[in-house]
Structure 1
Amino acid sequence: MLPPCDPAVLQSNPQFSSLYQHLTTSLLNPDGSTRASDTQPARRAAVEDLKGCRIRNAKKQIKKRTLRQLAFDGEGGLPDQHQDTVAVISLYLDSSRQNGKEAGDTLALLAPDIEAFYSSIPAVINPFSEILSSSIASLRMIANAGTKTTPVQSSESSRPRPRARQSASNTATPLSSQLSARVRSLRETQLVELPASRRQMTLTAAEVLATRAQVLEQTVVLLERAKHGALARATKAKAEHLATVAQGMEGKLNVTKFDVIAQIYSPETIAALDRYRQHLGDVRERLEERQELVSQELKAYDAQGRSCQETGSMAEIVQRYGKLAREVEAVKVELRRLE
Structure 2
Amino acid sequence: MLPPVDPAVLQRNPNFEILYKDLCTRKLNHNGSTRETKKQRVHDEIRRALSAARTSLLTTQILIDTLSDLPFKAADLPPELHSLIDIATAQLRGQIPAADREILSADLDAFLANSDIISDALSTQLSKTTTHLCNIADPLQPPAPADLSARANALQTEATLTLPDELQSAHLHLTHSFTVLLATHSTLLTTAIKILEQTQQGALARHTRSSADLLHARSVLLGLQAKIHTYSHAPPAEFVDALRQFKKSQGSGEKALRDREALAQRELQLYERAGEKGMKELARRKEWILAEVQRVEDEVSKLERGG
TM-score, length-scaled by structure 1:
0.34
TM-score, length-scaled by structure 2:
0.38
